[in-house]
Amino acid sequence: MDKDNSLAENPLLAPWTGPFEAPPFDRLKPSHFEKAFEAALAGAAAEAAAIAANPEPPSFENTIEALERSGHDLTRVAAVFFNLASADTNDEFEAIERDMAPRLARHRSEIYLNDALFQRIAALHARRGELGLDAERLRVLDRYYTAFVRNGGGLPDATKARLAGINERLATLGTKFGQNVLADEKAYMLVLAAKDDLAGLPASLVSAAARTAADRGLQGSHGITLSRSSIEPFLQFSARRDLREKAFAAWARRGETGGVTDNRAIASEMVKLRAERAKLLGHESFAHFRLADTMAKTPQEALGLLQSVWAPALGQALREEEALQAIAAGEGGNFKVAPWDWRYYAEKRRKAEFDLDEAEIKPYFQLDKMIEAAFFTANRLFGLSFTERKDVPLYHRDVRSWTVTGQDGREIALFIGDYFARPSKRSGAWMSSFREQRKLDGEVLPIVVNVLNFAKAAEGETCLLSFDDARTLFHEFGHALHGMLSDVTYPLLSGTNVARDFVEFPSQLYEHWLEQAEVLRRFALHHETSEPMPEALLQRLLSARQFNQGFATVEYTASALVDLALHLEPDADAIDIVAFEGKQLEKLGMPGSIIMRHRTPHFQHIFSGDSYSAGYYSYLWSEILDADGFEAFEESGDIFDPALARKLHDHVYASGYSRDPEEAYKAFRGRMAKPDALLRKRGLAESPRGDA
């Protein structure tokens, strides 16, 4: 690593003067981050100390706005680093991440546990009604006060010291957990060397598997990795039950290999530390602590929702299992359907019941056309236009960028798309920001990124997606719009910085537009002929939207219930997370043919940091909102209804956290969401129109 560059030459700390003031990716080295973090941490600490020591009486301007302006370099360096550490990491980045995670946690604790700072904020909050603040300023003051209290502000020194120690340890453990999962994923490839190993696989998967093997130095072979875009279609199509079982075992046991990447002890310690932190903060359990600042408010509310869905979903899944067992038996299979069989026989069942074949659908779902479809929908709803740029340096040759303009032609954001799986990228799909929108001290436009893990096609071939892949693309683009359309003054309230069980609403709502015939007729075009999907096929595709929903709901809901149960433990002393998982699933009556969508040793949502810990239920909570919200467009008779789109823009996508989520939803919909819309969407209840 280069050790001789000075701070003056560090591109992370210098002004970013390139196109759109985007990060200078073409000039960045790992050593730049080490030195930039050092300088930025020192600067942020000095700024916070100056605010705390200000001899002037606290005011909104010298305390809250000053905090919002502070730490600019640290925010910028951290945003670039952690995006790269997730999307294009290497050994040097991982070493820096392990070093910086506890140090950043320590810095965060020093801010939140600074008593002089807390007293200034508490004094302002106590007389907030006398300050003459507008609604957004009142909101940002309230959020600062809430954040400081929830992080230990005002507690005795000994308690604060213990909280700081817990936070550092959790940061270290969360980083290690995520790196272990990535290491297990990178280390595994199922090599398909014989012709018979490819039995049942469609041409698109064979091609992608050939590229995967070639990229790992095995020219002429085929490889299946643990990326969902590789493993799931393999499980769906491979006629080799022995190979399906082998690949599935590796997928299910990520983080549970017994070696240096085993996550069981890490997760156990994290659960215990979280329980202790919650008690120190005055809460019955970590789940009570986390949900107190969400729409759900209490674990009981979240559990009530999950349990209301579990029973009908389990019943549906058991009926689905019977149907799959019958297909297997009809083919002479003398075995009970296992988790590595489900997707294979479900595909056969879908073909039999809906005359629908993934190999027939996939040629109509070109990646580029689905990107266009997402852009088209944003244009129809919000008047946005997207122009691809070639002049913005990016961090990988496969990454693309677009300037986003509003209806009036003004630039509003830079959008970055990173679509293909690679060993340097963690699995899954997500949205993040290299820069968040704000208007404090002038307009700052957001730089938003979508990161996905689609299998890259062979050279000269078209990247084809499954319908589920396309839905994921729309989902993440819904998050991206939430960041790009943000129109607030204060960074704390910007974009997706909202309650955890509200953040999935804009993204899940956006998925609905992919499933509309008007969009599919325009963009579901055959990759060879450019002909639109035949109307009969399109209708069969749409009629099968609720197919296999028992399975999908059970694998998700089981994960959410186990997450909540883990974090409801009051002490969680030396918990065996795998045994705990097994006991909870047994209580639920989990079918042996289905496993959790995310087993605890690789459950990155809840252990690679705190983002979704005790909060994985939030996807289902938000689904009540998205199901009910899209029904508003259906009831209007126009899926792009301009008046509804304007309300959606103003009260949801543009408003960030400037208002309470319930108020935001009511302002869009005119009322609170009706939960039965969720069951109708998943086909677990009768719709008012009578279709299941």
DSSP strands (E only) in 99-171: none
CB 412 within 8 A of CB 484: yes
Burial state string for 192-209 with b = 16 or more CB within 10 A and e = fewer than 16 = beeeebbeebbebbebbb
Residues 270, 174: Cα–Cα separation, whole Å: 8
CB 608 within 8 A of CB 181: yes
In one-letter notation, the amino acid at residue 424 is S
Bridge pairing between strands 190-192 and 222-224: antiparallel
Residues 183, 196: Cα–Cα separation, whole Å: 29
Burial state string for 231-261 with b = 16 or more CB within 10 A and e = fewer than 16 = bebbbbbbebeebbeebbebbbbbbbbeeeb
Residues 257, 260: Cα–Cα separation, whole Å: 8
Query: Does residue 461 carry a catalytic annotation?
Result: no
Residues 562, 272: Cα–Cα separation, whole Å: 15
φ, ψ at 484 (rounded to 5°): -75, -30
Bridge pairing between strands 447-454 and 411-420: parallel
CB 309 within 8 A of CB 620: yes
Q: What angle do CA 100, 101, 105 make, to 5 degrees?
A: 110
Residues 520, 588: Cα–Cα separation, whole Å: 39
Residues 282, 414: Cα–Cα separation, whole Å: 43
CB 96 within 8 A of CB 138: no
Find the catalytic residue in 68, 94, 321, 476.
476
Torsion of Cα atoms, 402 then 403 then 406 then 408, to 10° = -140
Residues 27, 400: Cα–Cα separation, whole Å: 18
Residues 161, 563: Cα–Cα separation, whole Å: 28
Tokens describing residue 355: 């005359």
Q: Dump the DSSP string for 551-584.
A: HHHHHHHHHHHHHHHHHH-SS-TT--HHHHHHHH
When computed from its CA atoms, the radius of gyration of the chain, rounded to whole angstroms, is: 25
By residue count, the chain amounts to 692
| H or E, element range at 315 | helix 299-330
Q: How far is CA 318 from the centre of its chain?
A: 29
Strand partners, 432: 449
> Which residues belong to the active site?
476
